[in-house]
Structure 1
Amino acid sequence: MSSVISQRSSLAFLVITVLTFLAASSAPTPLYQVYQDHLHFSAAMLTAIFGVYAVSLLAALLTVGSLSDYLGRKPVIFVALLLNIVAMLLFIVADSTSYLLAARALQGFATGTATAVLSATLLDTDRVRGPMLNSLAPMLGMASGGLGSGLLVEFAPWPTQLIYYTLLGLMVLQALYVWCLPETVSRIPGALKSLAPTLHVPPQARRALWLAMPLNVAVWALGGFFSSLAPSLVRVATGSTSHLIGGGLVAVVTLSGAVMIYSLRDHAAERVMRLSAALLTVGVGLLLVAVNTASLWLFFVASVIAGLGFGGGFMGSVRSIVGLALPHERAGLMSAFYVLSYLAFCVPALLAGNLSRVFGLIATTDGYGAVLILLSLGALVGLLMRDSAQARASA
């Protein structure tokens, strides 16, 4: 009985910690307009503040992403929490763009460190529910961070500080509790060597990873766009100045994704990916209609449909690869998966931010959406062709 309770407690702690990291990552999104108004910086600086987070996160995944396979899970989780605690303190005292850049850079490295180790620890703790929780928790975290921050900005005092005080308190408690977890891997030699920037994908997982990439790229590129440019897009397309709408759109996409993940948790990964590719195509198409007709209600409808594709595509991609790694390969595999995912998250969004200064945000959104639709349709065709080939082979 005690082992069951211990496992449940560990799962609950790990899920809450993933929620906290991802909530912190999306909390600045509704605040970008506030920072711009108060600190008077350009759109180029806004893009830099978004971009430095993604670059430092990728640096963490490439260097310390597999470190917990060698040192153990608990010390790496603890260090990631300490780094994010310092980032929250920097956000709280931020009175210039230098503070914001430093906070986002440190937060990105902390989140990159935590992403791989927490994903691996969830799989170590529960092989059955781990893949579903690995997909569900980030969605709920991003939703709670975006929506919670938007609500506090709109209705609460200290709009640029209260959300960070809340997250800071949670992280301090988690840093204390992490040492109560059971360690799930033993220490092995090679920790220093593992810090050399590399992507470690076990040979048996490589084909599945590349087959999942087209849909996964589309999913994360959509997430990057919503996290960086959605508030500005709503303002330009509809004239709305509410800070809650930008955070609300992020929440709608991620909550819809969470619903999709939970609803289809028992379905085969390939089936989930096919359905998600179709939903993403429809959702992005409707989003382009909403942008060009200035329809706020259609923005939210399109975000729900695209969010279903977002969540399903993410879960299907994760589930198609996680069972293919051995225990001491899991953090490395998840690190490689997230490196590719976050490249798709940040590079297209950064490119869109720069192109919007030349062509305007609406025209840039049209082009961005067209690329996402092509990627989704390509993924759907590829999945159907693979299924057809497998059916012929087994006939």
Structure 2
Amino acid sequence: MFSGEYAMTTLAAPEAPPTSRPALRRGAAFTLVAVVIATLLGASAAPTPLYEVYQSNWGFSSLQSTLIFGIYAVSLLLALLTVGSLSDYVGRRPVLITALVFEAASMIMFATAEGIGLLLIARVVQGFATGAAISALGSTLLDLERTPGRGATVNSIAPTVGPALGAIGSSLISEHLPRPTSTVFLVFCALFVVEILGIWAAPETAVRQKGALASMRPTLAVPSTALGMLVLTGPCLVAVWALGGFYLSLGPSLARNALDVHTSLIGAIMVATLTGTGAFAVFLLRNVAARRILYVGASALVAGVAITLVGAETSSALWILAGTAVAGIGFGAGFQGTIRTVMPLAEPHERAGLLSSIYVIAYLANSVPALIAGYLVGKVGLVDTTRIYGGLVIVLAAAAFLGLLMRKAPVSTS
């Protein structure tokens, strides 16, 4: 799907070890891995539409809502820093199966929670399981791709499709089926059980090597060949994930307050609009040069957040949703541009470590600003917090755009 020049710089994926006896063909395994990514990240967004239910049942504050969101991201970061590269050493399947088992267990915890204590524990387990799996899944896509660039494209689309489906599905299930805080998590648990069986039957794409214990020392594994590009694209990456963190933690509250609509579906629609248009942008721009994608992403973030702020000030549903859709283009394009610019610069055995480092930056941006915003809501109110947060995203995206303009050499020809 990428240009010929990109294809020439892409190294062939390693063949599966001879001891592997998969039941799934590479094409089917590729599709399965993409579905697993979407399901994992869909499950991470499932609590978002339920925050209003939790607040009603247990008296949650905005800070507690962002804490439930933020502790997930912190746990995920710890996993990325410790076991993010483990699949490069022990194989993809052992890491993925173990992670999915813990993910299924966290769904049971969510389904049986009766207060914030077990919710927080469930989020910790879910975050660590997701962090352990995410870089292995992304690397597996690159290992299994038949067309150069297809894995990078799916790596960009799945993280945007997953939260959209998770948020909408959670909202619909909670409003139309019994036991609103339990049923959605039992559905996800069943999906993870099926996916465990699928991964067990999938081909192993990584050759085992020594150094597994050493790889678990907390470190950021960024190859020197990719460091410069990661620094250049960093502000856009931070802006993208900071925006996602706001929508997943405080987006429903903003919608209810600005639009005076009290249904979990409105928050889910906002999340789905952001991530859904992001997925559409990734697909639409899949054959566009990475530098141009970054331009599109940064400029769309600036324009989209500005429009959303106008909608929040005027309590206009049309402006809020329109701004969210434009920002969603930036959400998808910004992340896609980063992945397509940075990942091709790593050798196959460096992929999981580099992808883990990208996700560390992403989830720090996803969680820390959201936690601060949750605290600020109690001090200055939701409207002023939204203004500050939106301004931060605009400044970061504008900085990324200007940085690209000032760099004369092309970022990538892919």
TM range (shorter): over 0.9
How many Å apart are 1:176 and its aligned residue?
A: 1.4
Is 2:269 the partner of 1:255? no
Deviates more, 1:258-267 or 1:171-180: 171-180
Q: What residue identity is the alignment partner of 2:62? A: A
Q: What residue identity is the alignment partner of 2:267? A: G
Distance 1:193 1:335 in 2: 16
Indicate conservation of the 8 Å contact 1:150/1:248, yes or no. no
Distance 2:65 2:150 in 1: 38
Indicate conservation of the 8 Å contact 2:46/2:166, yes or no. yes
- The superposition leaves residues 153-189 of structure 1 with CA deviations (integer Å, 9 ceiling, x where unpaired) of 2222221112111111110011112121111111101
Is 2:231 the partner of 1:219? no
Which TM-score applies when normalising by structure 1? 0.96
Number of the residue aligned with 2:8? none
Number of the residue aligned with 2:34? 15
- Equivalent of residue 113 in structure 2, options 94, 108, 111: 94
How many Å apart are 1:31 and its aligned residue?
A: 0.4
Number of the residue aligned with 1:358? 379
Number of the residue aligned with 1:84? 103
Question: 1:1-395, aligned counterparts within 5 Å?
Answer: 6-126=25-145, 127-386=148-407, 389-390=408-409
How many Å apart are 1:45 and its aligned residue?
A: 2.2
Q: What residue identity is the alignment partner of 1:31? A: L
How many Å apart are 1:336 and its aligned residue?
A: 0.4
- The superposition leaves residues 196-228 of structure 1 with CA deviations (integer Å, 9 ceiling, x where unpaired) of 111001111111111110111100000000000
Distance 1:292 1:237 in 2: 8
Which TM-score applies when normalising by structure 2? 0.91
How many Å apart are 1:40 and its aligned residue?
A: 2.1
Could you say what secondary structure the match of 1:323 adopts? helix
How many Å apart are 1:44 and its aligned residue?
A: 2.8
- The unaligned stretches of length 5 or more in structure 1 are none
- The superposition leaves residues 242-287 of structure 1 with CA deviations (integer Å, 9 ceiling, x where unpaired) of 1100011000000000000000001111100001111111100001
RMSD across aligned C-alpha pairs, in angstroms? Answer: 1.2
How many Å apart are 1:8 and its aligned residue?
A: 1.1
Q: What residue identity is the alignment partner of 2:405? A: L
Query: Greater share of helix residues, 1 or 2?
Result: 1
- State the identity as a percent: 47
Distance 1:372 1:45 in 2: 23
Distance 1:373 1:40 in 2: 33
Q: What residue identity is the alignment partner of 1:43? A: S
How many Å apart are 1:47 and its aligned residue?
A: 2.4
Distance 1:366 1:116 in 2: 34
- The superposition leaves residues 112-143 of structure 1 with CA deviations (integer Å, 9 ceiling, x where unpaired) of 11111101111111142000000001111110
Indicate conservation of the 8 Å contact 2:62/2:377, yes or no. no
Could you say what secondary structure the match of 2:286 adopts? coil
Distance 1:217 1:261 in 2: 18
Name segments (4+ residues, structure 1) moved above 6 Å: none
